[in-house]
Chains A and B, each alone.
Chain A
Amino acid sequence: MRGHLGTRIAQIIPTLILVSILVFCLQQLMPGDPALVMAGEERGDPQVLAQIRAELWLDRSLPVQYLHWMGNVLQGNLGFSWRIRQPVAQLVLQKLPVTLQLGTMAFGIAVLIGVPAGIIAAVYRNRFLDYVANAVGLAGLSTPNFWLGIMLILLISVQLGWLPPSGYVPLTEDWRQSLATTIMPAFVLGNAIAAILMRHTRSAMLTSLDQDYVRTARAKGLREFVVVIRHALRNALIPVVTLGALELGTLFSGAVLTEQVFSIPGFGKMVVDAVFNRDYPVVQGVVLVTAFLYVMLNLLADVLYVVINPRLRAA
């Protein structure tokens, strides 16, 4: 096991380097001259453009630009946002708690709805509750986030006036206000993932409920609840954990549409703004950080497998 984890950790660095090179090359393929965008309505002056290119190293070759950037990253400097002239690291640190909070809440909601719904659907296979859970799950999957978001704003904020329609307040500043501003977007995000988790939990549970050890457990006279939760669910959780880690990683890389609708200043909004404004250092910084989060979450999933299934400890 330790060896396995060691290999996974050693894979992180080449993965991140590969991601950074890929991002660097891909954004060169984007049409649209960063200098023209930076210059805004002052773009008519060729002197201004030349000056911007020189200042941002845009007049150097691609490998030189990359090495310059990578050199800084290795010294802990993610560079400066071209557009708002703030250090990228500072921007990332500003947005990270927002994205982590929203992602965690959304994931919490997804797990709280999705896993029990999946268990119930599997236990009551092909009966009324199963159909209800499936219908609700399908509705959750097929409802577009931005539509659900705007509907919730119109109903809960504008009509009923219960929750603020958008904006964000940090947890540290006022936790109630913070929850008030994030509960709707977290529900919108969590709702879609709950549906996915529900479907996977249901099919994994169906498989494990058919296994011999479940029959044995029942034959031993264990209560049905214990059979389902301790014996069947535990074995069904492996694929659910894998999927959960991937979904959580996606949540942490920012939820563009939902953040947009609820004006949550997280990663998604920042990276979209940065792409449209050709603010390359911000794009690179955010992608690097999210790639790191992704890798770490997958590592965490590996550890969880072992916790759930002791047989893997020997491997």
Chain B
Amino acid sequence: MIRRLLLAAACVLTTALPASAQTLRIALRQDLDVLDPTLATTYVGRIVFAGLCDKLFDIDDKLNIVPQLATGYEWSDDRTLVINLRQGVKFHDGEPFDAAAVKYSLERHLTMQGSFRKSEISSIDHIEVVDPATVRVALKTPSGAFLAQLTDRSGMIYPPKATEAAGKDFALHPVCSGPFKFVERVPQDHVTLERFADYWDAKSIHFDRVVYQVFLDSSVRLANLKAGTSDITEFIAPTDVAAVKSDPKLKLVVSDALGYASINNNVGNGPRSNTPYGKNPLVRQAFDAAIDRAALVEVVFNGMYAPSVQPVSASSPFYDHALKPPPRDIDKAKALLKQAGVTLPVKLELLTPNQPDQLQAAEVLQSMVAEAGFELRIQAMEFASSLQAQTRGEYELYLIGWSGRVDVDGNTYQFLHTGQGNNAVGYSNPTVDKLLDEGRGLTDLPKRQAIYNQVWPELRRDLPITYLYNARNIVAMTAKLNGFRPIPDGMIRLQGLEMAK
């Protein structure tokens, strides 16, 4: 009786469940920040922008740069980029997309107070409108990384009139030229977009609405997918993969991502680098030799990530396929420590953000290196505090990840070049500096590849950063959803996505 009553009550409550096939519900792992591409910093924010704002260029699954709002480009010399623009494109407010809008947007990214795009495209000297369908971008110095920046937020274009009119309030009602336009946002909960009827590529869009839902907890994300209240989730925990695979209503798409996880070694940032580990590369090499990356990934991430000793993933043209993670070698580690002449055990402190998987990884590392003669103490700290500790040099080793950039420069220069703001390990190697400078200045791919192939051995010897693995994008979705294209940047492109009847 009670059961029947409960069922009846539940039926009354659930008859109104939103089940419209025209709405696509995308689960995000985190809440996004400000909805303004110039000011935004979060990864999940970029996933929403993929529905809202088109970019000059996009990338494909091989990280090739392909046109989006542009139709093509040409380097007229090594500092001048001529971009041809798509015609007949409209912004959500009806303004036409043209060269003036591109010039306006790039200048907004460059000069707006608080812009986070400034440093990405600071190589721009000036922008000229050649004609409504052509812009010419003059750079201060040659840059091999510049074009890749235009495949992300720096390449998102605004309608000048609406953007000017909105001023500081742009983020409350963002206007762009993407396939969907903004409807509403409830922070910590969801963002709703609706189909933009005048989208230039309207035939590739098969949904009327997109709702981006925020579920911080990975089991809650999975539960929603299983219950059918989310259609696709941008990321599920590696430990939930088995649950997705065993559910016939769901499917899984795994692809190489752009980022990496590493141990950042304090080799020159303040007094805490004055340890045998910080000052003697042999000690760091011993630590490295004691790590079994494959086992680490197997234990903590169910083998879903790719063990690696490079800051770029296998999807990148700069990945050196010959440079494999070395097998664990305890004898070598012990010999190196002996050669370094340190007293055993070598006491170290590993700082890590207090997330469960990071802590587990830290514990696995702790037991691995113990066998070689390291006594690793784990210090778990809330994320923001750990970040500050790193910046201030208040750490010895720091276990952390980087979401990754399309171009190799974004994964290396700021962390490894002498004096860069993100070089919190305090690394300084004139050879690496010179190579990184050269690498960013070239636009020719084979020449650049040759340069970075010289950087990796330097890093393997000095080990300012001990790379552990390259992450993968683990996307789960209802089996009815077709047309999903895995791209290394992890964005969910709405073009081509379709729900089977």
With contacts A32-B384, A150-B219, A176-B13 known, is A270 near B116, CB below 8 A?
no
Complex: A153 Cα to B414 Cα, angstroms: 44
CB distance from A206 to the nearest CB of B (A): 30
**Beta-carbon nearest neighbor of A153 in chain B:** B223
Q: Which residue of A lies closest to B12 (CB)?
A: A176
A49 → B minimal CB distance (Å): 8
A166 and B229 form a contact (CB under 8 A): yes
Given the interface pairs A83-B33, A167-B229, the reply to whether A41 lies near B13 with Cβ below 8 Å is: no
Name the residue on A nearest B41 (C-beta): A40
Q: In the complex, identify which listed stretch (A4-12, A229-237, A260-268, A294-302) lies at the interface while the others stay far away.
A: A260-268
Q: Which residues of B, 174-216, contact A by the 8 Å Cβ criterion?
A: 186-190, 213-216
Contacts of A289 in B (CB 8 A): none
Asked if A39 contacts B41 (CB within 8 A), the reply is yes
- A42-B41, A166-B215 in contact; A48/B13 too (CB < 8 A)? no
Shortest distance in angstroms between A301's beta carbon and chain B's nearest beta carbon?
30
Stretch at the interface among A64-72, A113-121, A211-219, A271-279: A271-279
Task: Report yes or no: B114 in contact with A51, Cβ–Cβ below 8 A.
Answer: yes
Residue B113 is within 8 A (CB to CB) of chain A in the complex: yes
Which residues of A sit under 8 angstroms from B459, Cβ to Cβ? none
* B172 touching A86, Cβ below 8 Å: yes
B34 near A83 (CB under 8 angstroms)?
yes
- Residue A281 at the chain B interface, CB threshold 8 Å: no
> Which residues of chain A are within 8 angstroms of B76 by Cβ–Cβ distance?
none
Segment touching A, from B97-105, B232-240, B385-393: B385-393
The segment from B14-22, B326-334, B428-436 that touches chain A is B14-22
A26 CB, min distance to chain B CBs, angstroms: 15
B288 at the interface (CB under 8 A from A): no
* In contact, B17 and A43 (Cβ under 8 angstroms): no
Evaluate contact between A52 and B114: CB separation under 8 angstroms. yes
Q: Which residues of A contact B130 (CB under 8 A)?
A: none
A154 touches B (CB below 8 Å): yes
Within the complex, what minimum Cβ distance (angstroms) separates B476 from chain A? Answer: 14
The answer to the question of A163 belonging to the interface, with a C-beta cut-off of 8 Å to chain B, is: yes
Contact of B226 among A47, A49, A158, A176 (CB under 8 A): A158
Residue from the set B36, B190, B213, B224 with the largest chain A CB neighbour count within 10 Å: B224
Q: How far is the CB of B19 from chain A (nearest CB, A)?
A: 11
Contacts of A86 in B (CB 8 A): 171-172, 187
B10 close to chain A: CB less than 8 A: yes
Scan A218-262; emit 1 where CB is below 8 A from any B CB, else 0: 000000000000000000000000000000000000000000111
- Complex formed: what's the CA distance from A44 to B402 in Å? 13
Tell me how far the C-beta of A135 lies from the nearest C-beta in chain B, rounded to whole angstroms. 19
Q: Assess whether B217 is in contact with A260, with CB atoms less than 8 Å apart.
A: yes
What B residues does A260 contact at CB under 8 A? 216-217, 220
Contact B171 A48 (CB under 8 A): no
B223 and A165: CB pair below 8 A? yes
A contact patch SS: helix
Name the residue on B nearest A269 (C-beta): B188
CA distance A164 to B220 in the complex (A): 11
A47 to B223, CA, bound (A): 43
Q: How far is the CA of A37 from the CA of B421 in the complex (A)?
A: 14
Question: Is residue B339 within 8 Å, beta carbon to beta carbon, of the partner chain?
Answer: no
Query: Could you give, for residues 66-88 of chain A, a 1 whenever the CB lies within 8 Å of some chain B CB and a 0 otherwise?
Result: 00000000000000010111100
* A94 and B186 within 8 A (CB): yes
A168 cross-chain contacts in B, Cβ below 8 A? 189
Interface residues of B in 144-164 (CB under 8 A from A): none
Asked whether, in the complex, the Cβ of A164 is within 8 Å of the Cβ of B229, the reply is yes
Nearest Cβ distance between residue B269 and chain A, in whole angstroms? 13
Residues of A near B32 (CB, < 8 A) are 84
CB 8 Å contact bits of B376-389 with A (1 = contact, 0 = none):
00000011110111
Q: B214, B216, B229, B388: which contacts A165 (Cβ < 8 A)?
A: B229
Q: Which of B347-391 contact A (CB under 8 A)?
A: 382-385, 387-389, 391
A55 near B114 with CB under 8 A, answer yes
Residue pair B388, A36 in contact (C-beta under 8 Å): yes
Q: Determine if A40 and B16 form an interchain contact, defined as CB atoms under 8 angstroms apart.
A: no
CB < 8 Å: which of B15, B171, B187, B229 contacts A91? B187
Check A44–B214 contact: CB distance below 8 A.
Answer: no
Identify A180's interface contact among B13, B119, B188, B391, CB under 8 A: B13
**Is B31 an interface position by the 8 A CB rule?**
yes
Query: By the criterion CB–CB under 8 Å, are B387 and A32 in contact?
Result: yes
The interface bits of chain B over 240-266 (1 if a CB of A lies within 8 angstroms of the residue's CB, else 0) are 000000000000000000000000000
Looking at the assembled complex, report how far the CB atom of B282 sits from the nearest CB atom of chain A, in whole angstroms.
Answer: 29
Contact of A32 with B114 in the complex, beta carbons under 8 Å: no
Q: B299 in the interface, Cβ–Cβ < 8 Å?
A: no
Chain B residues near A44 (CB, 8 Å)? 119, 414, 420-423
Q: Is the CB of B213 within 8 A of A167?
A: yes
* B217/A261 in contact, CB under 8 A: yes
The verdict on A45 contacting chain B, using a C-beta distance below 8 Å, is yes
Q: B445 within 8 Å of A by Cβ?
A: no
* A30, A39, A43, A154: residue with the most chain B Cβ atoms closer than 10 Å: A43
Q: Counting CB contacts under 8 A, is A310 at the interface? A: no
- Report the minimal beta-carbon distance from A59 to chain B, rounded to whole angstroms: 15
- Decide: A158 and B387 in contact? CB cutoff 8 A: no
Contact residues in A for B172 (Cβ distance below 8 Å):
85-86
A31 at the interface (CB under 8 A from B): yes
Write the chain B residue with the least CB distance to A181. Answer: B13
For B36, list chain A residues within 8 Å (CB). Answer: 85
Asked if B66 lies at the interface with its beta carbon under 8 angstroms from chain A, I say no
Is A42 a contact partner of B227 (Cβ separation < 8 A)? no
Partner of B15 from the list A41, A45, A176 (CB cut-off 8 Å) is: A176
A49 to B7, CA, bound (A): 56
Do the beta carbons of A165 and B387 come within 8 Å of each other? no
A144 at the interface (CB under 8 A from B): no
Asked if B403 lies at the interface with its beta carbon under 8 angstroms from chain A, I say: yes
In the assembled complex, 11 residue pairs joining A and B whose CB atoms fall closer than 8 Å, in A order, are A32-B384, A33-B387, A40-B41, A45-B421, A84-B32, A164-B14, A165-B229, A177-B16, A261-B217, A261-B220, A270-B188
Q: Which 6 A-B pairs have the closest CB atoms?
A: A40-B41, A44-B422, A44-B421, A32-B384, A265-B189, A162-B10
Give me 9 other A-B pairs in contact (C-beta within 8 A), A33-B387, A156-B10 excluded.
A33-B384, A44-B420, A84-B34, A85-B39, A85-B168, A161-B227, A176-B16, A262-B220, A265-B187
Residues of B that sit less than 8 Å from A by CB: 6-7, 10-18, 31-36, 39, 41-42, 113-114, 116, 118-119, 168, 171-172, 186-190, 213-217, 219-220, 223-224, 226-229, 382-385, 387-389, 391, 402-403, 414, 420-423
A-side residues, CB < 8 A to B, are 30-33, 36-49, 51-52, 55, 81, 83-86, 91, 94, 150, 153-154, 156-158, 160-168, 174, 176-177, 179-180, 183, 260-263, 265, 269-270, 273, 276-278
